[in-house]
Amino acid sequence: MSTDFFASFPAGYALGLSLIVAIGAQNAFVLRQGVRRQHVLPVVLTCAASDALLILAGVFGFGSLALAWPGFEQVMRWGGAAFLIWYGARSFLSAWRGGGSLEAADTAAQPLLPVLITTLALTWLNPHVYLDTVVLLGSISAQYPDPLYFGLGATCASFSFFLLLGFGARLLAPLFTRPRAWQVLDVVIGLVMWAIAYGLLYSAVM
């Protein structure tokens, strides 16, 4: 391996991991799918591949294109907030209805397409994703000997984190045989979605 690799790849991995581990709408959804054991691999790969595209776009300088359109960030903020409010309300409604359990969830799996659409919406309608990947990682990568290695490091961090989150969530399966646990999870997911939506709307009007 070249010295450029060792100077760039680990730094990209560390920074990419530090940006993605914070609880957010996307992570909460992946966790829920992992606990339900439904379409985990497609969801994980969709999240990680989306991150990879955005990170590499930033590394190759496409962050300036987003910044060149002044209305881009505002459109993403309002659209993302609207989607998060709707999804949060759906989670609260699910918690209020109750009655779910891991066994019931396993017998009533959602079709793959709606799950992937939700995954893509939670990823691509979040303006923070663009700020973290395209703009932040893209600009920082230019400071390293090989920006491509830096971007690959951040991409590997995304794949490893989502794989661990999605497939590690099944360790919580015994807990979620109880309906009350599903209600708590749905409430937490709803709160996360609405908190992020509030942050997006607050920053849009300030």
H, E, C per residue of 126-137: CHHHHHHHHHHH
pLDDT at position 125 = 85
Please tell me the pTM assigned to this model: 0.74
pLDDT score recorded for residue 100 = 55
Look at residue 107 in the predicted model and tell me its pLDDT: 47
The Cα 123–Cα 118 span in angstroms is 9
Show the domain range for 143.
3-203
As given in the structure block, the two tokens for residue 90 are 């759906």
Backbone angles phi and psi of 167, in degrees to 5: -90, -20
Structure tokens at 99: 């009655």
pLDDT of residue 1: 59
Instruction: Please give the tally of structural domains in the chain.
Output: 1
The parts of the chain modelled with pLDDT lower than 70 are 1, 22-23, 62-73, 76, 99-109, 176-177, 204, 206
Task: Judge whether 34 and 165 are in contact, CB under 8 Å.
Answer: yes
For 164-175, the pLDDT digits (tens) are 999 998 887 777
Residue 48: what pLDDT? 95
Alpha-carbon distance values, 181 to 22, 25, 64, 93, 140 (Å): 22, 19, 44, 15, 41
